[in-house]
Structure 1
Amino acid sequence: MIQLLCSDKMSERLKQELSKYYIEVKPDSHVVLVEQGYPLPREKLCIVFDALDYMDAVKLAVSGIQADMPFRHKVTGLSENKFAVIEPGDVRYLEAGSDGIAAYTMSNRYSMKETLQYYEHVWGAQGFIRINKSQLVNLLHVKEIIPWFNSRYVLRMNNHTELEVSKVYSKRLRRTLNI
Protein backbone atom coordinates (compact mmCIF):
# COMPACT_ATOMS: atom_id res chain seq x y z
CA MET A 1 0.00 0.00 0.00
CA ILE A 2 1.08 3.52 -0.72
CA GLN A 3 -0.39 7.00 -0.33
CA LEU A 4 -0.14 9.71 -2.98
CA LEU A 5 0.17 13.47 -2.43
CA CYS A 6 0.31 15.04 -5.87
CA SER A 7 -1.72 16.65 -8.64
CA ASP A 8 -4.69 14.78 -10.10
CA LYS A 9 -2.90 14.26 -13.41
CA MET A 10 0.17 12.83 -11.67
CA SER A 11 -2.03 10.72 -9.42
CA GLU A 12 -3.55 8.98 -12.44
CA ARG A 13 -0.11 8.26 -13.91
CA LEU A 14 1.20 6.91 -10.60
CA LYS A 15 -1.86 4.72 -10.02
CA GLN A 16 -1.45 3.25 -13.49
CA GLU A 17 2.24 2.47 -12.93
CA LEU A 18 1.75 1.11 -9.40
CA SER A 19 -1.09 -1.16 -10.53
CA LYS A 20 1.37 -2.97 -12.79
CA TYR A 21 3.11 -4.14 -9.61
CA TYR A 22 -0.15 -4.85 -7.73
CA ILE A 23 0.45 -2.03 -5.27
CA GLU A 24 -2.70 -0.47 -3.85
CA VAL A 25 -3.09 3.27 -3.33
CA LYS A 26 -4.66 4.00 0.06
CA PRO A 27 -4.71 7.20 2.15
CA ASP A 28 -3.79 5.44 5.42
CA SER A 29 -0.49 3.93 4.18
CA HIS A 30 2.78 4.54 6.04
CA VAL A 31 4.64 5.17 2.74
CA VAL A 32 3.81 8.34 0.79
CA LEU A 33 4.86 9.47 -2.68
CA VAL A 34 4.93 13.28 -2.48
CA GLU A 35 5.22 15.50 -5.53
CA GLN A 36 7.69 18.33 -4.97
CA GLY A 37 5.89 21.40 -3.60
CA TYR A 38 3.26 19.47 -1.62
CA PRO A 39 3.42 19.41 2.20
CA LEU A 40 5.09 16.40 3.82
CA PRO A 41 2.87 14.38 6.16
CA ARG A 42 4.19 13.79 9.68
CA GLU A 43 5.33 10.40 10.95
CA LYS A 44 5.25 8.73 7.54
CA LEU A 45 8.00 7.60 5.20
CA CYS A 46 7.97 10.13 2.34
CA ILE A 47 9.47 9.79 -1.11
CA VAL A 48 9.62 13.27 -2.64
CA PHE A 49 9.84 13.40 -6.43
CA ASP A 50 9.91 15.91 -9.24
CA ALA A 51 7.04 15.53 -11.74
CA LEU A 52 9.49 14.91 -14.57
CA ASP A 53 11.19 12.05 -12.68
CA TYR A 54 8.12 10.29 -11.31
CA MET A 55 9.21 6.90 -12.73
CA ASP A 56 12.31 6.95 -10.52
CA ALA A 57 10.05 7.42 -7.49
CA VAL A 58 7.87 4.53 -8.64
CA LYS A 59 10.90 2.24 -9.00
CA LEU A 60 12.16 3.21 -5.56
CA ALA A 61 8.76 2.67 -3.95
CA VAL A 62 8.18 -0.63 -5.74
CA SER A 63 11.57 -2.04 -4.78
CA GLY A 64 11.02 -1.20 -1.10
CA ILE A 65 7.44 -2.40 -0.92
CA GLN A 66 8.00 -5.61 -2.85
CA ALA A 67 10.99 -6.51 -0.68
CA ASP A 68 8.56 -6.77 2.23
CA MET A 69 6.15 -9.00 0.25
CA PRO A 70 7.95 -12.11 -1.03
CA PHE A 71 4.69 -13.74 -2.14
CA ARG A 72 4.36 -11.03 -4.80
CA HIS A 73 7.20 -12.62 -6.74
CA LYS A 74 5.23 -15.79 -7.39
CA VAL A 75 3.34 -15.87 -10.65
CA THR A 76 0.69 -17.96 -12.30
CA GLY A 77 1.26 -19.70 -15.58
CA LEU A 78 -1.08 -21.56 -17.91
CA SER A 79 -0.23 -25.04 -19.14
CA GLU A 80 -2.60 -27.64 -20.58
CA ASN A 81 -5.64 -25.49 -19.70
CA LYS A 82 -4.64 -25.35 -16.02
CA PHE A 83 -3.12 -22.54 -14.00
CA ALA A 84 -0.18 -23.21 -11.72
CA VAL A 85 1.56 -21.05 -9.13
CA ILE A 86 5.22 -20.82 -10.09
CA GLU A 87 8.16 -19.87 -7.88
CA PRO A 88 10.86 -17.82 -9.63
CA GLY A 89 13.48 -20.37 -8.59
CA ASP A 90 11.69 -23.07 -10.58
CA VAL A 91 11.86 -21.10 -13.83
CA ARG A 92 14.90 -21.93 -16.00
CA TYR A 93 14.29 -19.17 -18.52
CA LEU A 94 11.59 -16.94 -20.00
CA GLU A 95 11.11 -16.44 -23.72
CA ALA A 96 9.04 -13.99 -25.75
CA GLY A 97 7.47 -15.41 -28.87
CA SER A 98 4.65 -14.73 -31.29
CA ASP A 99 2.15 -16.26 -28.85
CA GLY A 100 3.37 -14.27 -25.81
CA ILE A 101 5.74 -14.99 -22.93
CA ALA A 102 6.62 -18.57 -22.04
CA ALA A 103 8.28 -19.73 -18.81
CA TYR A 104 10.27 -22.94 -19.01
CA THR A 105 10.68 -25.05 -15.88
CA MET A 106 12.36 -28.43 -15.56
CA SER A 107 9.17 -30.27 -16.44
CA ASN A 108 6.82 -27.85 -18.20
CA ARG A 109 6.22 -24.79 -20.37
CA TYR A 110 3.85 -22.14 -19.06
CA SER A 111 2.19 -19.22 -20.82
CA MET A 112 2.68 -16.01 -18.86
CA LYS A 113 0.76 -12.75 -18.79
CA GLU A 114 3.29 -9.95 -18.26
CA THR A 115 6.18 -8.69 -20.40
CA LEU A 116 9.85 -9.67 -20.30
CA GLN A 117 10.63 -6.18 -19.02
CA TYR A 118 8.29 -6.76 -16.07
CA TYR A 119 9.98 -10.05 -15.12
CA GLU A 120 13.42 -8.54 -15.64
CA HIS A 121 12.55 -5.81 -13.14
CA VAL A 122 10.71 -7.96 -10.59
CA TRP A 123 12.99 -11.02 -10.70
CA GLY A 124 16.30 -9.28 -11.43
CA ALA A 125 17.38 -9.44 -7.79
CA GLN A 126 16.72 -13.19 -7.79
CA GLY A 127 19.29 -13.96 -10.46
CA PHE A 128 17.40 -13.36 -13.72
CA ILE A 129 19.25 -11.52 -16.47
CA ARG A 130 18.35 -10.56 -20.02
CA ILE A 131 20.54 -12.44 -22.53
CA ASN A 132 18.98 -11.22 -25.78
CA LYS A 133 15.94 -9.27 -26.89
CA SER A 134 13.59 -12.22 -26.36
CA GLN A 135 15.00 -14.21 -23.41
CA LEU A 136 15.65 -13.90 -19.68
CA VAL A 137 17.63 -16.61 -17.95
CA ASN A 138 17.82 -17.70 -14.32
CA LEU A 139 21.57 -17.76 -13.60
CA LEU A 140 21.01 -20.35 -10.86
CA HIS A 141 20.22 -22.92 -13.56
CA VAL A 142 23.18 -22.19 -15.85
CA LYS A 143 25.60 -25.12 -15.91
CA GLU A 144 28.24 -23.75 -18.31
CA ILE A 145 29.12 -20.50 -20.02
CA ILE A 146 30.77 -21.16 -23.36
CA PRO A 147 32.63 -18.32 -25.11
CA TRP A 148 31.33 -17.95 -28.65
CA PHE A 149 32.51 -15.98 -31.65
CA ASN A 150 32.04 -12.21 -32.04
CA SER A 151 32.08 -11.50 -28.25
CA ARG A 152 29.05 -13.67 -27.56
CA TYR A 153 28.37 -16.61 -25.25
CA VAL A 154 26.27 -19.74 -25.18
CA LEU A 155 24.70 -20.73 -21.88
CA ARG A 156 24.22 -24.44 -21.30
CA MET A 157 21.45 -24.96 -18.78
CA ASN A 158 21.07 -27.78 -16.23
CA ASN A 159 18.59 -29.49 -18.58
CA HIS A 160 21.13 -29.27 -21.49
CA THR A 161 19.23 -26.50 -23.30
CA GLU A 162 21.59 -24.05 -24.96
CA LEU A 163 20.76 -20.34 -25.10
CA GLU A 164 22.72 -17.74 -27.02
CA VAL A 165 23.73 -14.47 -25.38
CA SER A 166 23.74 -11.64 -27.93
CA LYS A 167 26.70 -9.31 -28.26
CA VAL A 168 24.74 -6.40 -26.75
CA TYR A 169 23.78 -8.35 -23.61
CA SER A 170 27.10 -10.19 -23.23
CA LYS A 171 28.62 -7.04 -21.69
CA ARG A 172 26.01 -7.09 -18.94
CA LEU A 173 26.56 -10.81 -18.37
CA ARG A 174 30.33 -10.31 -18.05
CA ARG A 175 29.79 -7.43 -15.62
CA THR A 176 27.25 -9.36 -13.56
CA LEU A 177 29.38 -12.51 -13.29
CA ASN A 178 32.71 -10.67 -13.19
CA ILE A 179 34.04 -12.56 -16.21
Structure 2
Amino acid sequence: MVQLVCSDKVYEKLSRELSRNQIEINPNSDWALVEKGYEFPGDKLCIVFDGIDYMDVIRLLVSGIRENELKTDTLAGISENKYAVMEPKDVRYLEAGSDGIVACTKTNRYHIRETLQYYENVWAAKGFIRINKSQLVNLLHVKEIIPWFNSRYMLRMDNGAELEVSKMFSKKLRHTLNL
Protein backbone atom coordinates (compact mmCIF):
# COMPACT_ATOMS: atom_id res chain seq x y z
CA MET A 1 0.00 0.00 0.00
CA VAL A 2 1.11 3.51 -0.80
CA GLN A 3 -0.33 7.01 -0.79
CA LEU A 4 0.16 9.21 -3.87
CA VAL A 5 0.73 12.96 -3.61
CA CYS A 6 1.12 14.29 -7.14
CA SER A 7 -0.52 16.00 -10.11
CA ASP A 8 -3.61 14.45 -11.69
CA LYS A 9 -1.68 13.49 -14.83
CA VAL A 10 1.07 11.69 -12.89
CA TYR A 11 -1.52 10.15 -10.55
CA GLU A 12 -3.27 8.58 -13.52
CA LYS A 13 -0.01 7.10 -14.88
CA LEU A 14 1.24 5.92 -11.49
CA SER A 15 -2.07 4.36 -10.49
CA ARG A 16 -2.18 2.40 -13.76
CA GLU A 17 1.38 1.08 -13.27
CA LEU A 18 0.88 0.35 -9.56
CA SER A 19 -2.31 -1.55 -10.35
CA ARG A 20 -0.47 -3.54 -13.02
CA ASN A 21 2.06 -4.55 -10.35
CA GLN A 22 -0.61 -5.33 -7.70
CA ILE A 23 0.38 -2.42 -5.46
CA GLU A 24 -2.62 -0.80 -3.76
CA ILE A 25 -3.11 2.97 -3.47
CA ASN A 26 -4.37 3.89 -0.01
CA PRO A 27 -4.28 7.31 1.71
CA ASN A 28 -3.96 5.51 5.08
CA SER A 29 -0.66 3.87 4.09
CA ASP A 30 2.44 4.32 6.25
CA TRP A 31 4.40 5.82 3.36
CA ALA A 32 3.84 8.04 0.35
CA LEU A 33 5.15 8.77 -3.13
CA VAL A 34 5.43 12.55 -3.44
CA GLU A 35 6.04 14.41 -6.70
CA LYS A 36 8.57 17.27 -6.39
CA GLY A 37 6.80 20.53 -5.55
CA TYR A 38 3.99 18.90 -3.55
CA GLU A 39 3.66 18.98 0.22
CA PHE A 40 4.90 15.97 2.22
CA PRO A 41 2.46 14.20 4.50
CA GLY A 42 4.20 14.84 7.83
CA ASP A 43 3.42 11.53 9.48
CA LYS A 44 4.70 9.21 6.73
CA LEU A 45 7.89 7.97 5.16
CA CYS A 46 8.07 9.75 1.78
CA ILE A 47 9.79 8.99 -1.50
CA VAL A 48 10.14 12.18 -3.54
CA PHE A 49 10.35 11.89 -7.32
CA ASP A 50 10.39 14.07 -10.42
CA GLY A 51 7.13 13.66 -12.36
CA ILE A 52 8.92 12.87 -15.62
CA ASP A 53 10.74 9.97 -13.94
CA TYR A 54 7.66 8.26 -12.50
CA MET A 55 8.70 4.89 -14.01
CA ASP A 56 11.86 4.94 -11.87
CA VAL A 57 9.58 4.94 -8.81
CA ILE A 58 7.70 1.93 -10.17
CA ARG A 59 11.00 0.09 -10.78
CA LEU A 60 12.12 0.89 -7.24
CA LEU A 61 8.89 -0.42 -5.75
CA VAL A 62 8.70 -3.52 -7.90
CA SER A 63 12.33 -4.47 -7.31
CA GLY A 64 11.98 -3.97 -3.55
CA ILE A 65 8.61 -5.58 -3.07
CA ARG A 66 9.08 -8.49 -5.43
CA GLU A 67 12.79 -9.09 -5.03
CA ASN A 68 12.30 -12.83 -4.62
CA GLU A 69 9.73 -13.04 -7.40
CA LEU A 70 11.88 -11.35 -10.02
CA LYS A 71 14.85 -13.68 -10.03
CA THR A 72 16.01 -13.57 -13.62
CA ASP A 73 19.52 -14.90 -13.77
CA THR A 74 18.90 -16.52 -17.13
CA LEU A 75 16.89 -15.87 -20.26
CA ALA A 76 15.50 -18.37 -22.74
CA GLY A 77 15.19 -17.40 -26.38
CA ILE A 78 14.49 -19.17 -29.64
CA SER A 79 16.47 -18.97 -32.87
CA GLU A 80 16.24 -21.30 -35.86
CA ASN A 81 13.72 -23.53 -34.03
CA LYS A 82 16.14 -24.10 -31.14
CA TYR A 83 16.00 -22.67 -27.65
CA ALA A 84 19.06 -21.22 -25.99
CA VAL A 85 19.57 -20.25 -22.37
CA MET A 86 21.71 -17.16 -21.83
CA GLU A 87 22.75 -14.91 -19.01
CA PRO A 88 21.91 -11.18 -19.04
CA LYS A 89 25.63 -10.36 -19.34
CA ASP A 90 25.68 -12.11 -22.75
CA VAL A 91 22.87 -9.94 -24.14
CA ARG A 92 24.16 -6.84 -25.97
CA TYR A 93 20.75 -5.22 -26.38
CA LEU A 94 17.03 -5.97 -26.52
CA GLU A 95 14.96 -4.69 -29.40
CA ALA A 96 11.22 -4.52 -30.08
CA GLY A 97 10.19 -5.06 -33.67
CA SER A 98 7.19 -6.06 -35.71
CA ASP A 99 7.85 -9.73 -34.95
CA GLY A 100 8.24 -9.29 -31.17
CA ILE A 101 11.12 -8.79 -28.75
CA VAL A 102 14.60 -9.88 -29.81
CA ALA A 103 17.65 -10.39 -27.57
CA CYS A 104 20.82 -9.66 -29.54
CA THR A 105 24.01 -11.41 -28.45
CA LYS A 106 27.49 -11.26 -29.94
CA THR A 107 26.70 -13.94 -32.49
CA ASN A 108 22.92 -14.38 -32.76
CA ARG A 109 19.42 -12.92 -32.34
CA TYR A 110 16.88 -14.74 -30.15
CA HIS A 111 13.14 -14.17 -29.95
CA ILE A 112 11.95 -13.83 -26.35
CA ARG A 113 8.55 -13.65 -24.69
CA GLU A 114 8.46 -10.78 -22.20
CA THR A 115 8.08 -7.06 -22.97
CA LEU A 116 10.80 -4.40 -23.03
CA GLN A 117 9.12 -2.79 -20.03
CA TYR A 118 9.52 -6.03 -18.09
CA TYR A 119 13.25 -6.23 -18.81
CA GLU A 120 13.69 -2.52 -18.19
CA ASN A 121 12.24 -3.01 -14.70
CA VAL A 122 13.98 -6.29 -13.89
CA TRP A 123 17.39 -5.77 -15.48
CA ALA A 124 18.04 -2.13 -14.55
CA ALA A 125 20.31 -3.32 -11.71
CA LYS A 126 22.21 -5.48 -14.23
CA GLY A 127 23.24 -2.44 -16.29
CA PHE A 128 20.43 -2.28 -18.85
CA ILE A 129 19.02 1.11 -19.79
CA ARG A 130 16.36 2.21 -22.26
CA ILE A 131 17.87 4.27 -25.10
CA ASN A 132 14.79 4.77 -27.26
CA LYS A 133 11.22 3.54 -27.45
CA SER A 134 12.22 0.19 -28.94
CA GLN A 135 15.64 -0.68 -27.47
CA LEU A 136 17.32 -1.48 -24.15
CA VAL A 137 21.09 -1.66 -24.09
CA ASN A 138 23.51 -3.46 -21.78
CA LEU A 139 25.97 -0.72 -20.78
CA LEU A 140 28.67 -3.35 -20.19
CA HIS A 141 28.89 -3.87 -23.96
CA VAL A 142 29.03 -0.22 -25.06
CA LYS A 143 32.41 0.41 -26.68
CA GLU A 144 31.97 4.10 -27.58
CA ILE A 145 29.49 6.89 -26.92
CA ILE A 146 29.45 9.35 -29.80
CA PRO A 147 27.73 12.75 -29.40
CA TRP A 148 25.15 13.07 -32.17
CA PHE A 149 22.85 15.72 -33.54
CA ASN A 150 20.09 17.39 -31.50
CA SER A 151 21.34 16.31 -28.02
CA ARG A 152 21.35 12.65 -29.01
CA TYR A 153 24.06 10.00 -28.88
CA MET A 154 25.16 7.06 -30.98
CA LEU A 155 26.32 3.98 -29.07
CA ARG A 156 28.84 1.72 -30.76
CA MET A 157 28.60 -1.75 -29.27
CA ASP A 158 31.44 -4.26 -28.90
CA ASN A 159 29.81 -6.43 -31.58
CA GLY A 160 29.91 -3.55 -34.11
CA ALA A 161 26.23 -2.55 -33.88
CA GLU A 162 25.44 1.16 -33.73
CA LEU A 163 22.39 2.20 -31.72
CA GLU A 164 20.90 5.67 -31.54
CA VAL A 165 19.92 7.18 -28.20
CA SER A 166 16.84 9.34 -28.73
CA LYS A 167 16.70 12.88 -27.40
CA MET A 168 14.10 11.84 -24.84
CA PHE A 169 16.39 9.18 -23.30
CA SER A 170 19.67 11.12 -23.63
CA LYS A 171 19.15 12.88 -20.30
CA LYS A 172 18.82 9.58 -18.44
CA LEU A 173 21.94 8.20 -20.16
CA ARG A 174 23.94 11.33 -19.22
CA HIS A 175 22.70 11.10 -15.66
CA THR A 176 23.41 7.35 -15.38
CA LEU A 177 26.95 7.69 -16.74
CA ASN A 178 27.69 11.14 -15.27
CA LEU A 179 28.40 12.60 -18.73
TM-score normalized by structure 1?
Answer: 0.66
Q: How far, CA to CA, are the matches of 2:164 and 2:57 in structure 1?
A: 34
Contact 2:144–2:157, Cα closer than 8 Å, also in 1: yes
Q: How far, CA to CA, are the matches of 2:98 and 2:74 in structure 1?
A: 24
Aligned partner of residue 171 in structure 2, secondary structure: helix
1:89 maps to which residue? Answer: 89
Q: Does structure 1 residue 99 correspond to structure 2 residue 108?
A: no
1:23 maps to which residue? Answer: none
Q: List aligned pairs for 1:42-57, cutoff 5 A.
A: none
1:173 maps to which residue? Answer: 173
Q: How far, CA to CA, are the matches of 1:161 and 1:59 in structure 2?
A: 28
Contact 1:36–1:49, Cα closer than 8 Å, also in 2: no
Q: How far, CA to CA, are the matches of 1:49 and 1:178 in structure 2?
A: 30
Q: How far, CA to CA, are the matches of 1:59 and 1:49 in structure 2?
A: 17
Larger radius of gyration: 1
Q: List aligned pairs for 1:13-162, cutoff 5 A.
A: 17=21, 62-64=62-64, 67-68=67-68, 71-162=71-162
Unaligned runs of 5+ in 1: 1-13, 19-32, 39-46, 51-55
Aligned partner of residue 160 in structure 2, secondary structure: coil
Give the letter for the 2:173 counterpart. Answer: L
Contact 2:142–2:156, Cα closer than 8 Å, also in 1: yes
Give the letter for the 2:96 counterpart. Answer: A
Provide the aligned length of Structure 1 versus Structure 2: 142
Q: How far, CA to CA, are the matches of 2:30 and 2:83 in structure 1?
A: 40
Give the letter for the 1:103 counterpart. Answer: A
Q: How far, CA to CA, are the matches of 1:87 and 1:66 in structure 2?
A: 20
Cα deviation per residue 1:21-44 (whole Å; 9 max; x = unaligned)?
Answer: xxxxxxxxxxxx888699xxxxxx
Offset at residue 64 of structure 1 (A): 3.1
Aligned partner of residue 153 in structure 2, secondary structure: strand
Unaligned runs of 5+ in 2: 1-17, 33-55
Q: How far, CA to CA, are the matches of 2:115 and 2:121 in structure 1?
A: 10
TM-score normalized by structure 2?
Answer: 0.66
Q: How far, CA to CA, are the matches of 1:79 and 1:164 in structure 2?
A: 25
Offset at residue 49 of structure 1 (A): 7.6
Offset at residue 85 of structure 1 (A): 1.5
